[in-house]
Amino acid sequence: MNQSARAVVFFLALTVLSCAALGKRWQQPPPPSPPPAQEPAPQPAPSKQKYSHKNDFVIRGTVFDHRALSLPAAELRIRRSSEKKFRWETYTNSRGEFAVRVPGGSAYELVVRAKGFIEQARSIDATAGPGEQSLVFHMELASKNSKKEGK
């Protein structure tokens, strides 16, 4: 065999061996991936304390004007008797009615204000725990010199 024929045979042999090696490589499954890093077991989220309404006290009522007509949009503010700041605020609906849920076990003060009327306040005893109290307010017209007029 001459030298050029040897080179062709060598090249063909090299090509066949390379193809065989590549074929085996493609047929072999890939090496297994390393196991994932061990993550700590998920900790349960700190349980949020759910508020139960079973001990609530409901304060409801109706506000009327000086002519015994329901008074819509009258402002009601409620605070614990032992506190200075009002913690609950609401307004009467179109029929002059309101309802507020507060935690039982305290004494409360409720203040009703409406523009052109004298502000009224009531004490509510909710120390017995859960329950309900209904109130009726009859607002009086404020005189021009009255300082207790609602805003």
Judge whether residue 86 has pLDDT over 90.
yes
Half-sphere exposure for 36 (CA within 13 Å, toward CB):
3
Q: What is the pLDDT of residue 134?
A: 95
pLDDT the model gives residue 39? 65
Instruction: Check residue 1 and give its pLDDT.
Output: 62
148 against 129, higher pLDDT:
129
Q: What is the mean pLDDT of the chain?
A: 83
Q: By the 8 A CB rule, do 90 and 103 touch?
A: no
127 vs 93: which has the higher pLDDT: 93
Mean pLDDT of 115-139: 93
Domains in the chain: boundaries? 54-138
- Arithmetic mean of pLDDT, 1-11: 67
pLDDT at 60: 96
- CATH topology (fold) of 54-138: Immunoglobulin-like (2.60.40)
Q: What is the gyration radius of the CA atoms in the chain, in angstroms?
A: 42
Position 74, amino acid? A
